[in-house]
Amino acid sequence: MNHKTLLAAAIACGIAACSQAPAPPAPAVKTAPSAPAQPAAPAPSIGIDLAAIDHGVKPGDDFFAYANGAWVKAATIPPDRSSTGTFFEVFEKAEKHTSDLIRNAGASNPAAGSNARKIADYYAAYMDEAAIDKAGLNPLKPELDAITAIKTRADLARVLGSGLRADVDPINATHFHTSNLFGLFVTKGLEDASTNMAYLLQGGLAMPSRDYYLSTDKAMVAFRGEYKDYVVALLKQANIAEAESKATKILALETKIAQAQESLIDSEDPHKANNVWATADFAKKAPGLDWNAYFTAAGLDQVKQIDAWQAKAITALSALTAHEPLDGWKDLLVFHTLDGAAPLLPKAFADLHFGFHSHILQGTPQQRERWKRAVEATNTDLGDAVGKLYVAKYFPASSKEQVQAMVKNLVAAFDKGIDNLVWMAPETKAKAKEKLVTLNVGVGYPETWRDYATLEIKPGDALGNHQRAVAFEYAHQKAKIGLAVDRGEWWMTPQTVNAVNLPLQNALNFPAAILQPPFFDPQADAATNYGAIGAIIGHEISHSFDNTGSEFDAQGRLANWWTPADAAHFETATDALAKQFDAYEALPGLYVNGKQTLGEDIADVSGLTAAYAAYHLSLDGKPAPAIDGLTGDQRFFLAFGQDWRSKIRDAALRQRIATDVHAPAQFRAQTVRNIDAWYAAFDVTSGEKLYLAPDQRVKIW
């Protein structure tokens, strides 16, 4: 799953198959009195997988298990995946569609330099294993030679600077888990609504997060042993001498890097991140690294100021470059170069990479078929080129219009919810409403597409194509520094099964690929659509008002628009929600960190609240029909519960607890326990495990 951080909040859902065929009536559940069923003029598709429900579980004891239990018992995780669920099902649909487009891109012999030609050549090069095997390590020779040539600290700074790359994942922007020592993110300034600024982010690790190096948890300690074995094996595969001793030094240096990094929770605090430094002052504020050499090599020497997002980490990492032996840095850089390129190196390297990063760290038994990896890589490096084809074939204008109408209802429901907040002062409400009015919502695809004219894609050069695509993206992001902000900029491609909130742009993106069944079905019952995609839309709107989003005003500036009393009430409510999630045990002895997942949990509660209100607005005063023995409210909440259908391997779950700000799916489904209407819909009473007294139910927006 994915995650909301500094500049973005995203949701990635696992839900179950949409039951389009007639299904037997569900066994009765306790319900509150409901409106009589409407005359049976053709009923809409229910859009819920009735066969997935486990009627042996009370909704009030475990709503995830009630909504999904039968499916969980029968589901098998594919051998090439770390998890499964409807998120995976929808991903597979999008993958099939994009693979058809990508594999057929060259069928009409497109002109040289065209997007179709680039797509065809990129995919073909990735699939050409013979050419990759023949090339060996030659594509890495320039990088490896530059590392070998390091003789001074200035040389080290130049190599590190030349390796700086852009982080273009808004979901994980603040924990740039890359082997590059730093990462670059470009977006508007925290306090400047008009101009794009460069942000420097901590990096330097090959494993997923600092916890993998520092945690005393037995599983994490075991991972470190496996990691050292992997480092040794990769170095030996590259015929590097003294692999054992070098692996020991590499792990020791990475451990010091992990100790220097800031935690995920601290990294999410925009106030701690508001550290705009003149580039000339980096040498004084973060001594150790030759910053002049670094910024020149990175092409940032003309940039006047940069935000040091994790200032303490940047200072500590800079010090390490001065104090740790040069040979240790060279060994680390060689390993990181091999590790980063391994998927596009000869098979032995790719297999080693999969064996550690996917099999050991995530428990995935089998590597994905090469064509699937090729499709994923093409989607990543030529995203808008593929996306333009995807939208033309798979996203009708009628779907866009229907989702836009839902967005309008969700915004109206959220606006009405603000009016009904008895604890909020009028001046705070006015600021919240201003933010809602200026929200920029993109549905399906961007208004303008990326131009790949200057990106060179060569037949038979898989690794080179990827390297040039990464450098192309870096140049694109770097060129935005100092320019006016484009509030309509998209941070996801249309074929991405996800959604995102961008607090600094006060904008939302809902890509076309997530707008398909069972998240959204144009033919489905309104209750299902509002419970599924409506809750996702509400979730993203709510990110503008979560513990991070609420720090930004209508123009996307870091600014306090709360009265002291309102801020105190908000903090009390969110603390209660964090404690609620702290109590969820993901694996024996491993609990959710409610502070780490707080932003997502706020968005789930508030988004579900808004989606429920919007659903009833959509009924226009008419009673909801009963379908297959379920009331409208029951269908709404079941659709939400099945949003989070998933099954995950233990190793992957452990990784997500350490690195992800989303709570595991089964706990997100329990969000319903904070919504009064859920209690009435399923007649949940005191004594059932999820029951919360009315004054304990968290209500935020």
User: What CATH number corresponds to the domain at position 688?
Assistant: 3.40.390.10
Q: Which amino acid is at 15?
A: I
Position 169 scores a pLDDT of 60
Among 579, 553, 550, CA closest to 567: 550
Judge whether residue 16 has pLDDT over 70: no
Rounded Cα distance, 319 and 338, in Å? 25
pLDDT, average across residues 507-534 = 94
> Is there a single domain that holds both residue 681 and residue 591?
yes
pLDDT, average across residues 379-383 = 96
Task: Answer whether residue 479 is part of any domain.
Answer: no
Position 44 scores a pLDDT of 61
- 454-471: pLDDT as tens digits: 999 999 999 999 999 999
Judge whether residue 562 has pLDDT over 70: yes
Last residue of a domain, one of 267, 290, 324: 324
Q: The pTM is what?
A: 0.86
> Is there a single domain that holds both residue 512 and residue 645?
yes
pLDDT, average across residues 91-119 = 95
Going by the DSSP 8-state scheme, the letter that residue 305 receives in this structure is E
Task: Answer whether residue 195 is part of any domain.
Answer: yes
Reported as a pLDDT band with limits 50, 70 and 90, residue 176 is very low
Judge whether residue 27 has pLDDT over 50: no
Helix (H) or strand (E) holding 297: helix 291-298
Q: Where are the alpha helices (DSSP H) in 128-183?
A: 129-135, 141-148, 153-162
Task: Answer whether residue 494 is part of any domain.
Answer: yes
Local structure of 524: helix, strand or coil: strand
Q: Which residues pair with 511 in a beta bridge?
A: 444
Burial degree of 346 (CB within 10 A; 0-12, 13-18, 19+): middle
> Is there a single domain that holds both residue 405 and residue 309?
no
Rounded Cα distance, 140 and 466, in Å? 12
Q: In CATH, what number is assigned to the domain containing residue 192?
A: 1.10.1380.10
> Is there a single domain that holds both residue 182 and residue 57?
no
Average pLDDT taken over every residue of the chain: 90
Judge whether residue 366 has pLDDT over 70: yes
Task: Answer whether residue 115 is part of any domain.
Answer: no
Judge whether residue 72 has pLDDT over 90: yes
Judge whether residue 29 has pLDDT over 70: no
Task: Answer whether residue 462 is part of any domain.
Answer: no
Position 506 scores a pLDDT of 84
> Is there a single domain that holds both residue 592 and residue 692?
yes
> Is there a single domain that holds both residue 275 and residue 407?
no
Q: Name 184's Cβ contacts closer than 8 Å, sequence gap at least 6.
A: 164, 165, 166, 167, 198, 199, 200, 201, 298, 300, 474, 477, 478
Between residues 37 and 92, the one the model is more confident about: 92
Rounded Cα distance, 121 and 459, in Å? 5
pLDDT, average across residues 396-408 = 92
Q: Which region among 8-12, 49-53, 54-58, 605-609 has the lowest average model confidence (pLDDT)?
A: 8-12
- 597-650: pLDDT as tens digits: 999 999 999 999 999 999 999 999 999 999 999 999 999 999 999 999 999 999
> Is there a single domain that holds both residue 288 and residue 430?
no
Q: Which region among 162-171, 408-417, 483-492 has the lowest average model confidence (pLDDT)?
A: 162-171
Q: How many domains does the chain have?
A: 2
> What domain range includes position 256?
154-324
Task: Answer whether residue 125 is part of any domain.
Answer: no
Between residues 171 and 370, the one the model is more confident about: 370
Torsion angles phi and psi, residue 491, rounded to 5: -115, 10
Judge whether residue 199 has pLDDT over 90: yes
Reported as a pLDDT band with limits 50, 70 and 90, residue 352 is very high
Task: Answer whether residue 273 is part of any domain.
Answer: yes
Position 168 scores a pLDDT of 67
> Is there a single domain that holds both residue 567 and residue 429?
yes
Rounded Cα distance, 77 and 59, in Å? 25
Judge whether residue 487 has pLDDT over 90: no
Percent of the chain with pLDDT over 70: 92
Position 99 scores a pLDDT of 95
pLDDT, average across residues 566-590 = 95
Position 174 scores a pLDDT of 42
Q: Tokens 């993109």, residue?
A: 442
Reported as a pLDDT band with limits 50, 70 and 90, residue 231 is very high
> Is there a single domain that holds both residue 432 and residue 314?
no
Judge whether residue 173 has pLDDT over 90: no
Q: Which amino acid is at 636?
A: F
pLDDT, average across residues 231-245 = 98
> Is there a single domain that holds both residue 670 and residue 587?
yes
Sign of CA dihedral 98, 102, 103, 107: positive
Last residue of a domain, one of 264, 291, 324: 324
Rounded Cα distance, 413 and 506, in Å? 18
Position 299 scores a pLDDT of 97
Position 33 scores a pLDDT of 30
pLDDT, average across residues 435-462 = 95
Burial degree of 566 (CB within 10 A; 0-12, 13-18, 19+): buried
Last residue of a domain, one of 291, 307, 324: 324
Task: Answer whether residue 465 is part of any domain.
Answer: no
